Amino acid sequence: MGQVTFKNVSKSFGSTNIIDGMNLEVHNSEFLVLLGPSGCGKSTTLRLLAGLETVSSGTISINGRDVTELEPRERDIAMVFQNYALYPTMTVAQNLGFGLKAKQIPPKLIKEKVNEIAYLLGLTHLLNRKPNALSGGQQQRVAIGRAIVRKPKVFLFDEPLSNLDANLRLEMRAEIMKLHREIGATTIFVTHDQEEAMAMADRIVIMDNGSIEQIGTPTEIYFQPKTFMVAGFIGNPSMNFIKGKISNKMEISMPIGRIKINALLNLGEDIEVGIRPEKIKLADSKSKSTEIKVTVLVTYVELLGPRAVVKMKHESGQELTSVIEHDEIESYKVGTEINISLASQALHFFPKN
């Protein structure tokens, strides 16, 4: 199948840098998700790989072959666009077969392959319809079918699920994963939905402002965020950040208190201390040196089915958000003061930027 390499790839429009010296290796048969806020360059990365935009510098290769200067049609890739980009004047069957026609495959064989894909995706009864007579989910399926029928080296998906309603999105997500397992083609999937990225990816690439912040498995990205941006971007509700200063070699002082940690730090440095909402627990009576006990005022409780989001405020003005299980909700009453504990092993430290 396909292995994709970006080497020092940059893209600028005029004086604006969209992609800045990107290095990325996508493994064979991998499901790689490009994730980031809108405007971070993830779609541009995809379009560069597809050949729909030209790179300003650097090289892109697929299976070791330099494709930087090649036209999209010469790269042996398939792409599913956000709006599906189905050809409105053609039937479903013609849409599916259009790419094969370009390869000058005999019509009889095209028909066979189209029927096979239509069967695989449950489109057989729709083959003679025009795209405007299909539902969103069916259009999506045709777009995916059109991509896989050509058996390309690499599949590119540009936010393909964002136009679907919530249920259908879950369904199509599962279907894409299933197809990926069956076909095993290298897939690069762009999304701004972190839940989607977490659920689908073998590895996630987090991008911001045209450069890669972190590459890792969903677990790594979530539990070991390398940068402040990644820590804040991943997780919902997002990570709590508390400004701190290294006051002693192994101690950090924050507006809410001091904490000892097992790492050597630069004295006097300003840092951001992060803690995931679900790591904020109610304090018990035992006192440990590796945790801070803090008294906070509960300001808001939002019930989300089995879980609830609690907003709290410390007397220093520091706000914290935690996620609790439904059965704990009795302990968090709006307007009351509670004691919580922040364990040092749950803390993340980032240099202040």
Partner 1 sequence: MIVSFENRLLQFIGIMAIFMAIIVVLFPFFWIFLESVKPPSLGGRPDIWRFELSWENWSEVLLNSSVPLNIMNSFFIAFITVVISLICGAPAAYAFSRFRGFQGARYSILAAEMMPPAILILPLFLILYKLELIDSRIGVVTAHLTFVIPVITWFLIGFFDEVPKDLEDQAMIDGYTRFQAFYKVILPVVRPGLGAAAVFGFVLSWNDLFYSLLLTGAGSRTLPVAIASFWTFRGIELGKMAVAILIAVIPVLILSYFIQKHLIKGIGGSGVKY
Which residue ranges make up the site for partner 1 (CB under 8 A)? 47, 50-52, 71-73, 75, 77-79, 81-83, 85, 87-89, 98-99, 102-103, 146, 150
75 vs 141 by CB, closer to partner 1: 75
Using CB atoms within 10 Å of the CB of residue 5, give its burial: 0 to 12 exposed, 13 to 18 middle, 19+ buried: middle
57 vs 83 by CB, closer to partner 1: 83
The 3-state DSSP class for residue 34 equals: strand
Pairing of strands 154-158, 77-80: parallel
Nearest distance from C-beta of residue 225 to partner 1, angstroms = 33
- C-alpha distances (whole Å) from 113 to each of 116, 176, 252 are 5, 19, 64
Distance from C-alpha of 65 to C-alpha of 116, rounded to nearest angstrom = 31
Residue that the structure tokens 């951001």 belong to: 272
Nearest distance from C-beta of residue 87 to partner 1, angstroms = 6
Nearest distance from C-beta of residue 47 to partner 1, angstroms = 8
Which has the closest alpha carbon to 56: 65, 44, 43? Answer: 44
Q: Around 251, how many Cα atoms within 13 Å sit in the side-chain half-sphere?
A: 8
Nearest distance from C-beta of residue 68 to partner 1, angstroms = 16
The answer to whether 200 and 30 have CB atoms below 8 angstroms apart is no
79 vs 92 by CB, closer to partner 1: 79
85 vs 329 by CB, closer to partner 1: 85
Nearest distance from C-beta of residue 131 to partner 1, angstroms = 11
106 vs 306 by CB, closer to partner 1: 106
